[in-house]
Structure 1
């Protein structure tokens, strides 16, 4: 674990930016934690925007996923455009036990993706979280499937708590991204330009 080779650009083939969006409390941070917890110990609640990096192997390729997580965006509207800029994948999360979080995806979040996403080819995945609480379910799997079709998204139900389908969510998203030539090209370019992109530098990653 002590070697720093994980940071050298030679250690992966593509680097993709993935966003997690949806209402507060649907389990976006929990999904992220569940996905990377094997490697990451420090989990603070999300204030504004937080991102985590996960290196994984999918389809024989070594990928670096930078996964951005937001707190209930409402208070952080000014972040929106830079948050969406350059994303190759977007995960829209709702809670299967709370119908309003599902409704808000189609009425608020999906519209926001259309508005702010700079990437026409961006891959979207609709995720119904908290299936471990099936007795409290308020949104059926069929409804999820139908909305995903309507929005042109992939679809999965999962549980951050039991980890059911969590890895599949990110892996399937990554595989789909790799099927799209323009996104694959960006994934390659991201590696070339990832020098100290996360240090605060004047005119750094967030100014166009």
Structure 2
């Protein structure tokens, strides 16, 4: 496998054997994030999926580095970048994975859905086909990702209103039918990019918090276990007799 790891400073290309795992197992266990570092409270993995050319890489770079590139090239394999922010008083490190949209990389990217706690399904509001393909991406995601993953439908390039091919009402209807959140964005002028990630991270945090609380309540409801010592009645009588 060929993976490109993009950081705020540089990109690194790695060649990985089939089945190679990137994230430590405590992170991906059960599809939920754990506290793994004293510098932050939670690490959440979010994947961006959708057709090639819908603007996933620019959404990633706008959110993590506040950058936009008009000459952005198609992602090869998988790229990721991180950003740390506050969510309800907790320090959350968002690890955003940008997956390639081309068919030839499908076998590579599907392996990286596992362990994700959130996903943005991105389409281009000026390209009807990219919107129609959302259902295919959604099926693939549900086949490979955790059942409790938080999903958001994202209509990108809303700055190109004069070229709009998909109305907000049409996208909202699909989102409601499939149980997704929905927002339109523009990576070009940074419209709603921050809101999209703040919203999905907040939803993820609420799920993680509820699970942690439920686990604590379950643990506290278990009675303390001691050691039961069975005293034979005959031994008791003999001891009493000797005491006389």
Q: Which has the higher contact order (CA 8 A, sep 6+)?
A: 1
Distance in 1, matches of 2:182 and 2:129, equals: 18
Deviates more, 1:55-64 or 1:15-24: 55-64
User: Is 2:223 aligned against 1:178?
Assistant: no
Distance in 1, matches of 2:147 and 2:82, equals: 24
Distance in 2, matches of 1:167 and 1:69, equals: 16
Deviates more, 1:52-61 or 1:19-28: 52-61
- Structure-2 residue corresponding to 1:17: 45
Distance in 2, matches of 1:184 and 1:126, equals: 25
Distance in 1, matches of 2:73 and 2:162, equals: 30
Deviates more, 1:151-160 or 1:75-84: 75-84
Question: 1:124 deviation in Å?
Answer: 0.1
Whether the aligned pair in 1 keeps the contact of 2:49 and 2:121 (CA below 8 Å) is yes
Distance in 2, matches of 1:161 and 1:180, equals: 31
- Structure-1 residue corresponding to 2:96: 67
Select the residue among 75, 80, 85 that pairs with 1:51.
Answer: 80
Gaps of 5+ in 1: 1-7, 186-208
1:1-208 equivalence runs, <5 A:
9-38=37-66, 46-106=75-135, 108-117=136-145, 119-181=146-208
Gaps of 5+ in 2: 1-35, 213-244
Give me the TM-score of the superposition, normalised by structure 1: 0.78
RMSD: 2.3
Question: 1:47 deviation in Å?
Answer: 1.1
Distance in 2, matches of 1:120 and 1:157, equals: 25
Question: 1:121 deviation in Å?
Answer: 0.9
| CA 1:80–1:37: 2 relative to 1, 3 Å | closer
| CA 1:181–1:53: 2 relative to 1, 3 Å | closer
